[in-house]
Amino acid sequence: MNDFAYYKATDIDGAVNAAAGPKNNYIGGGTNLIDLWKYDLAHPEKLVDLNGIDELKEITELPDGGLRLGALVTNNATAYHPIVQERYPLLSRTILAGATPQIRNAATNGGNLLQRTRCYYFYDSSSPCNKRVPGSGCPAREGHNRLHAILGYSDACIATMPSDMCVALAALEAVVRVKGPEGERCIPFIEFHRLPGEQPEKDNTLREDELILSVDLPARGFAGHHTYLKLRDRHSYAFALVSVAMGYELDGEGNISVARIALGGVAHKPWRVPAAEELLVGKSPTEDQFARAAEAILEGASGFEHNTFKIDLAHRAILRAGAMAHDPSTQRPGAKPSL
Ligand code: SF4
């Protein structure tokens, strides 16, 4: 392990000032950073510990009816918060589909957004990897690519974003509030993570030294009709092969008035296609309508040797999620959804 300096911040401005510099890292729960460090993939010269900033540990209601999730609130505290359970059950369900209780007790909301891909080659420091060493190559294209992308990838990188929570936050149209040396700004969630393009080393649109303050949820939480369907190789402690976060509202006629669908496990960021969601507006929530939306969401999808199955899996997952969301009470383990 390399030597490093340690600074325990007690306020936001102090943290931002202390973090100035390319090799300085904020640390909250550390559940991914310490892994990266142990794998010789991260080499911070200074750690700015955020755990002394009480302001980042709060969940507060917003005047517009939304909810502010502090960046330092743990994933479990968020999932089990009574307002999240009542008004944003999609988010609660999604968080609880990820990791383990022990990890969720330490992992923070801000850190969840910043976790890095689980591409096997990224974690193997003896392997080339454009995300770790720009220009060195991407062995995943011809190698083991079961977990990899079918949408939005580039010649440089085909990695996927591993978070579950972020898939629900994309569907809920959350906003990420950040502060850096140049002040505070808000980033719409779907613009927070980026596609790999020619710069796969950049996972998101945070500027240097910016600190995530909170994730703000809008008032609409899709408490009536929602689901998170996560398909993976084993039932717990596994990353998604494909996941679907879906929420919709019905009008008085039983037709969909607004719909949001985000996919996980298929791209370098949560995958949303607003035009596909619009196809559902005014339609009844039937399998045929979700099939049309699925076609639009997956337009242009293509796979590699070991992951082409994800295209059909994602299509069928969207149909099933549509049925599950219609009656969230059917989402008990083993329950069979129907429309
Ligand atoms: Fe590296 Fe991305 Fe290729 Fe994986 S997919 S080896 S992270 S460049």
**338 lies in some domain:** no
Reported as type and span, the H/E element at residue 167 is: helix 165-171
At 108 the pLDDT is 98
Q: How many structural domains are present in the chain? A: 1
Q: For residue 156, which atom of ligand 1 is closest to its CA?
A: 8
**269 lies in some domain:** yes
CATH code of 272's domain: 3.30.390.50
Segment 317-336 mean pLDDT? 80
- pLDDT-derived band at 22 (thresholds 50, 70, 90) equals confident
Read off the tokens for 311: 């295209």
**315 lies in some domain:** yes
Position 339 pLDDT exceeds 80:
no
pLDDT digits (tens, 9 = 90+) for 121-148: 999 999 999 999 999 999 999 999 999 9
Q: For residue 148, which atom of ligand 1 is closest to its CA?
A: 5
Ligand 1 center from residue 141 Cα (angstroms)? 8
Segment 312-334 mean pLDDT? 86
Rounded CA gap, 116 and 39, in Å? 13
Position 333 pLDDT exceeds 90:
no
pLDDT digits (tens, 9 = 90+) for 55-75: 999 999 999 999 999 999 999
**124 lies in some domain:** no
Task: With H, G, I as helix, E, B as strand and everything else as coil, classify residue 175.
Answer: strand
At 186 the pLDDT is 98
Beta bridge partners of 227: 246
- Helices 309-326/287-297 angle, 10° precision: 140
The residue assigned the tokens 């609130």 is 73
Domain housing 303: 226-329
98: Cβ below 6 Å to ligand 1? Answer: no
Q: For residue 149, which atom of ligand 1 is closest to its CA?
A: 5
pLDDT digits (tens, 9 = 90+) for 167-201: 999 999 999 999 999 999 999 999 999 999 999 99
Ligand 1 center from residue 172 Cα (angstroms)? 29
**255 lies in some domain:** yes
**88 lies in some domain:** no
Ligand 1 center from residue 179 Cα (angstroms)? 30
161: Cβ below 6 Å to ligand 1? Answer: no
Q: Strand 211-217's sheet: what is its strand order?
A: 59-61, 67-70, 211-217, 175-180, 183-188
Read off the tokens for 194: 């980026």
Q: For residue 145, which atom of ligand 1 is closest to its CA?
A: 5
- Of 49, 163, 45, 172, nearest in space to 112 by CA: 163
Read off the tokens for 170: 């994309």
- pLDDT-derived band at 335 (thresholds 50, 70, 90) equals low
Task: Bin 300: left if φ > 0, else alpha if -120 < ψ < 50, else beta.
Answer: left
**241 lies in some domain:** yes
**25 lies in some domain:** no
Ligand 1 center from residue 156 Cα (angstroms)? 7
pLDDT digits (tens, 9 = 90+) for 78-111: 999 999 999 999 999 999 999 999 999 999 999 9
Ligand 1 center from residue 241 Cα (angstroms)? 16
Dihedral sign, Cα of residue 317, residue 226, residue 80, residue 34:
positive
